[in-house]
Structure 1
Amino acid sequence: MRWTASRKAEILRQLGSEELTVRQAIEKYALSEQEIALWRRAVQAAGVHALRTTRIQNYREVFEDYDQQGK
């Protein structure tokens, strides 16, 4: 399955609205908890557009700084 930014955003929306649990997402989509956490951090730190693969790579340092600030 190809993970587009819009597909990732939809999974996060379902998780946020409690339509889907993290455990269900892991099982249904063969994701890891770390991957879901990365997507969440990407959105928190830089918005939904950060879910694009190239953006996640570019913003990795931003995510690390964000985590260090405890947000």
Structure 2
Amino acid sequence: MKPINEAHLSEPGLLVVDVAAADDETAMVFQQEIALRWATATAERTSHVPDEPGVRLRCYVDLRQRLDT
């Protein structure tokens, strides 16, 4: 797989989470688990590069906003 691209955030506590997974289901389950714990801007779909294995997904997480579970 190609390297994950750099992203810049303006404040401490904000994360960009790039996920490389074998399939859509695995990537989405991972994202759902993060979203249960912290405020998360989720992705609705994964991306796939032709002729490369797996999928990618990017979501944004705010660690300053912990959700009560």
Give your verdict on TM over 0.5. no
Say which structure is richer in strand: 2
Say which structure is richer in helix: 1
If the length of structure 1 is used for normalisation, what is the TM-score? 0.29
- Which of structures 1 and 2 has the larger relative contact order (alpha carbons within 8 angstroms, sep 6+)? 2
If the length of structure 2 is used for normalisation, what is the TM-score? 0.30
Greater Cα radius of gyration, structure 1 or 2: 2
